[in-house]
C-alpha cells in the first residue's frame, strides 16, 4: 500500500540477477539446480550440495560474481524435511547483480565443501556457521569456533538449543581454569 504519490520504487531496491543467468546455470549443471524462485524480486536458486564448489567457481570466473557478501546457516527444525540450510549471497560488481544460493542439508551432522579456496571471506563466515549451527565445512584450513570459546558445548542458534540454557563458567576461579591449556 502506498500512502504517498511519490513512488520510491521500493521493490526495485537491490539489483538482482535475471532469469538468463539461471538458464545458463541450468544448462551447465542440469539436475544440480533443484529449484529457483524470484519472490520479492530476489533471484534465489536452491542447489544440490555436490555441485557447490563447481557452481561457485563458475559464478566467480564466468559470470563475474567477485564477492561473497554473506554466508549463513539456517535451522529449519520442524519446518522442512532437510533440517539445515546454508545461504550464500553473491554479488557481481561490474554487472551490479546479486544472487542467493541455498544449499539444503539433511541430518544432524551437516557437512558441505568449503569455499575458502575461492573467497578469503569464506574463512570466518564458515567458522561462524560451524560455531553457531554446527555445520561442518570439509577442507576448511582452520575449523575452530569463532565467536564462542572452545569449552562451549553445543551450537546456540540451533532451534533445539534453549534460549535460557546456561554453560559452565570459565576463566579465573572456575573449575575450567585448571585444565585451561590455552592460557
Q: Give SS3 for 87.
A: strand
- Smaller CB distance to other proteins: residue 25 or 125? 125
Span of 17-25, 46-54, 105-113, 117-125 interacting with other proteins by CB under 8 A: 117-125
CB 82 within 8 A of CB 104: yes
Span of 22-30, 45-53, 65-73, 173-181 interacting with other proteins by CB under 8 A: 65-73
Q: Is the dihedral of CA 11, 13, 17, 22 positive or negative?
A: negative
Q: Which of 27, 30, 107, 163 binds other proteins (CB under 8 A)?
A: 163
178: phi then psi, degrees, rounded to nearest 5:
-60, -40
Counting residues that bind other proteins (by CB under 8 A) gives 46
For residue 115, give the nearest of 94, 90, 134 by alpha carbon. Answer: 90
Q: What CA–CA distance (Å, rounded) separates 100 from 89?
A: 5
Q: Which of 8, 31, 138, 181 binds other proteins (CB under 8 A)?
A: 8
Residue 11 is a binding residue for other proteins (CB under 8 A): yes
Q: Which of 24, 35, 147, 180 binds other proteins (CB under 8 A)?
A: 147
**Which letter does DSSP use for residue 133 in this model?**
H
Span of 27-35, 46-54, 142-150, 170-178 interacting with other proteins by CB under 8 A: 142-150
Amino acid at each position: 500500500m502506498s500512502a504517498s504519490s511519490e513512488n520510491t520504487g521500493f521493490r526495485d531496491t537491490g539489483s538482482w540477477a535475471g532469469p538468463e543467468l539461471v538458464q545458463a546455470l541450468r544448462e551447465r549443471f542440469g539436475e544440480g539446480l533443484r529449484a529457483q524462485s524470484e519472490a520479492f524480486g530476489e533471484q534465489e536458486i536452491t542447489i544440490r550440495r555436490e555441485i557447490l564448489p563447481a557452481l561457485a567457481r563458475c559464478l566467480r570466473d564466468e559470470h563475474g560474481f567477485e564477492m561473497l557478501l554473506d554466508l549463513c546457516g539456517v535451522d529449519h527444525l520442524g519446518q522442512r524435511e532437510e533440517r539445515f540450510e546454508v545461504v550464500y549471497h553473491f554479488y557481481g560488481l561490474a554487472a551490479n547483480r546479486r544472487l542467493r544460493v541455498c544449499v539444503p542439508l539433511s541430518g544432524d551432522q551437516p557437512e558441505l565443501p568449503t569455499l575458502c579456496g575461492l573467497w578469503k571471506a569464506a574463512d570466518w563466515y564458515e567458522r561462524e556457521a560451524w560455531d553457531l549451527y554446527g555445520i561442518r565445512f570439509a577442507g576448511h584450513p582452520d575449523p575452530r569456533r569463532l565467536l564462542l570459546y572452545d569449552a562451549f558445548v553445543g551450537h546456540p542458534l540451533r532451534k533445539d538449543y534453549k534460549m535460557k540454557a546456561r554453560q559452565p563458567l570459565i576463566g579465573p576461579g572456575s573449575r575450567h581454569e585448571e585444565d585451561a591449556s590455552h592460557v
